Chains A and B, each alone.
Chain A
């Protein structure tokens, strides 16, 4: 268990409001990822981080920003939430180095934008 905690677990927010989701890990893993899960699409990568203050965009990054000021925390911000961002968001860490490490996922955050 990579000790990943996502918060909040559930959130309902209004269109146009900013929202921040938090991913916290306790095992000092370097690589962290944010995915969103939508029916028929599986999980799609939003942003990822390869170290403190080092982040990059994934496949579906528009409308999202991330920050990683500490190794243990990777924050995902929806700058102005839209209904299309209603989804389940998963954080993941990669254990080990490079391609030798497996992935562990958090429990997910269910976000509803109304």
Chain B
């Protein structure tokens, strides 16, 4: 069975501080996908990134960066110079990679509160 653990339930920072969200996953599959989603107070789920298990390169997109380490089964997410608009719940998710539709397994989410 697949499992995703986000140990941090809530993080509070002051604007312009960096914040790192931890994600640890478990899977028996050798091929899989990892995702991060953002859920702002309005409630919709916003896709941020998808990485496959064969690509361990770190990625940076603006103020967002992701550190994928297969050896420790971790896919951590950092927001640099946080802004109030970054306040949201962030979910890490894992997908099997099979031909007949792939189901997402989510972590419990980390609520980020950025104070002005």
Q: Chain A: residues with CB nearer than 8 A to chain B?
A: 30-31, 33, 35, 40-45, 48, 50, 58, 88, 90, 92, 94, 98-99, 102-105, 107-108
Contact = CB atoms under 8 A, between A and B. Distances in A.
Nearest to B52: A99
Contact of A48 (B50, B91, B103): B103
Q: Is the interface of A mostly helix, strand, loop or mixed?
A: strand
Nearest to A38: B108
Q: How large is the interface on B (under 10, 10 to 19, 20 to 34, 35 or more residues)?
A: 20 to 34
Contacts of B93: 42-43
A104 B104 CA distance: 12
Contacts of A31: 101-102
Nearest to A32: B101
Interface stretch (B11-19, B40-48, B60-68, B78-86): B40-48
Given A42-B107, A44-B106, A50 B101 contact: yes
A103 B47 contact: yes
A94 B101 contact: yes
Contacts of B102: 31, 94, 98-99
Contacts of A30: 101
B28 interface: no
Nearest to A104: B47
A4 to B, nearest CB: 11
A30 to B, nearest CB: 8
A99 B33 CA distance: 8
B27 interface: no
A43 B104 contact: yes
Contacts of A107: 43-44
B27 to A, nearest CB: 13
